[in-house]
Structure 1
Amino acid sequence: MTDQATFRVWRGDSTGGRFESYQVEVHEGEVVLDLVHRLQATQAPDLAVRWNCKAGKCGSCSAEINGRPRLLCMTRMSALPPDEPITITPLRAFPVIRDLVTDVSFNYAKAREVPGFIPPPDLKPGEYRMQQEDVDRSQEFRKCIECFLCQDTCHVVRDHEENKAAFAGPRFLMRVAELDMHPLDAATEAGLDRKATAQEQHGLGYCNITKCCTEVCPEQIKITDNALIPLKERVVDRKYDPLVWLGNRIGLRRKD
């Protein structure tokens, strides 16, 4: 059975644009990306859209469908209102290059600001040993496909351009949290305080845990509950707990 859907697609570039309406055939079992490809093949061959795997694992086809950040390849047409126009726009938090393609280089810049895993100096790579519980704890965060939907929906980034310089966003604060809880990360021994940098360099304090990032994650990572909130708790303990503060002071004096 073949139906018709009305697509309202944003067309334009960095100088401006407008919505164009199209009638597109819909077949049973299709996802939005199928219809975008059909639209390119039949009516809009110059429509720019970024995609790669069509399996929900590369994160390339991020866009906004009816105002909600989603992957085009993982949004089934059957899950959308059948009798209403479907509006497709580029990610709102990032500059438009053309049509549905945005410049997400902000995210790569933030990734470079997070120091990577620092291995223990007394162990060779083949000698790393971890408890399975610790592996499971951080493995959730390794499922991230870098679609940047969490970055797009985070209102700290989305609604306040001026915050971008000081705020890494949920994807990269999650990376800091993962490294901070890694039992083999030797950042402290190397003179790097991940808790301090989370607050002072990556803007953890800007996050007010609305869980909007968790809601749009296609990998169903509990970004807020399992990464950001625990990281906030550890930062607060480090900064305000009197016993921790005293221990740090004693430690500093011993070094002196």
Structure 2
Amino acid sequence: MWRGDPEGGRLEDFTVEVNEGEVVLDIIHRLQATQAGDLAVRWNCKAGKCGSCSAEINGRPRLLCMTRMSTFERADVVTVTPLRAFPVVRDLVTDVSYNYTKAREIPSFVPPAELAPGEYRMQQEDVERSQEFRKCIECFLCQDTCHVVRDHEENKQSFAGPRFLMRQAELDMHPLDAAEEQGLDRKTSAQEEHGLGYCNITKCCTEVCPEGIRITDNALIPMKERVADRKYDPLVWLGNKIRRRS
């Protein structure tokens, strides 16, 4: 278990009783109750729906409440450390405010001017496409494992990370979003303001998502393709020129 604060820290060994059916968060709570009453850990629902108890277990970003102890051998040493991509507050608690800053930078849904609330209509296929991305619980495991954020602190200024590029992609493919009519080009914004080009589609964000969202295949790659079409397809370029001229 990693113990420390922004000034530094270290791994400390603990031996804790494990009962059948328990998850890592249960062990953390028992550790707090019996051996380390000042251990800091963030959690809330213990049902894999709030995203609060994100940490790294044996080096892999995971939810403490969704990682069963039965996945480890009895003789295994289970190492729990804070999210590596974000500054440590204390012990397993990290400062994830970077993510909320990026969330505020993403322009929200722009409703169509000609439709009143209650008049929106969408094809079921479009509903299902967006619904996958709406399953996100904002645990920020994808943000933590993305090497663009994790290994390069200087990129945080210009890179939104997979969670918020996924949000851009969701809004860009939304059939009722009227952003372009208001002069907002989400494709250009994703590429030039939020760092879509930094993503090299290694799919590490998809691999750690506890909701099973196919972030890379269904959001980031399609968004990259639409950006490329806008920028390099000669027919799209010509069509945009004609549209602007008319």
- Partner SS state of residue 143, structure 1: coil
Distance, in Å, in 2 between the alignment partners of 1:84 and 1:28 is 16
Q: Which residue of 2 aligns with 1:107?
A: 99
Q: Which residue of 1 aligns with 2:8?
A: 16
Alignment counterpart, residue 232 of structure 1, candidates 224, 227, 237: 224
Structure 1: unaligned runs, 5 residues or longer: 1-8
Name the TM-score, length of structure 1 as normaliser.
0.95
Structure 1 vs Structure 2 CA RMSD: 0.6
Q: Which residue of 2 aligns with 1:153?
A: 145
Alignment counterpart, residue 211 of structure 2, candidates 219, 224, 242: 219
Alignment counterpart, residue 77 of structure 1, candidates 69, 78, 101: 69
What is the deviation of 1:83? 1.5
Distance, in Å, in 1 between the alignment partners of 2:143 and 2:128 is 24
What is the deviation of 1:75? 0.1
Structure 2: unaligned runs, 5 residues or longer: none
Q: Which residue of 1 aligns with 2:162?
A: 170
- Partner SS state of residue 12, structure 1: strand
Alignment counterpart, residue 204 of structure 1, candidates 196, 199, 202: 196
Query: Quick check: which one's strand share is greater?
Result: 1
The alignment status of 1:121 with 2:113, answered yes or no, reads yes
Distance, in Å, in 2 between the alignment partners of 1:29 and 1:60 is 21
Q: Which amino acid aligns with 2:44?
A: N
- Partner SS state of residue 125, structure 1: coil
Distance, in Å, in 1 between the alignment partners of 2:110 and 2:16 is 51
Alignment counterpart, residue 171 of structure 2, candidates 167, 179, 190: 179
Question: Identity over aligned residues, as a percent?
Answer: 81
Distance, in Å, in 2 between the alignment partners of 1:191 and 1:23 is 59
Listed one character per residue, the Cα deviations across residues 39-86 of structure 1 (whole Å, up to 9, x for unaligned) are 000000000000000000000000000000000000000112432211
**Aligned pairs, how many?**
246
Q: 4+ residue runs of structure 1 moved beyond 2 angstroms?
A: none
- Partner SS state of residue 115, structure 2: coil
Distance, in Å, in 2 between the alignment partners of 1:12 and 1:120 is 50
Name the TM-score, length of structure 2 as normaliser.
0.99
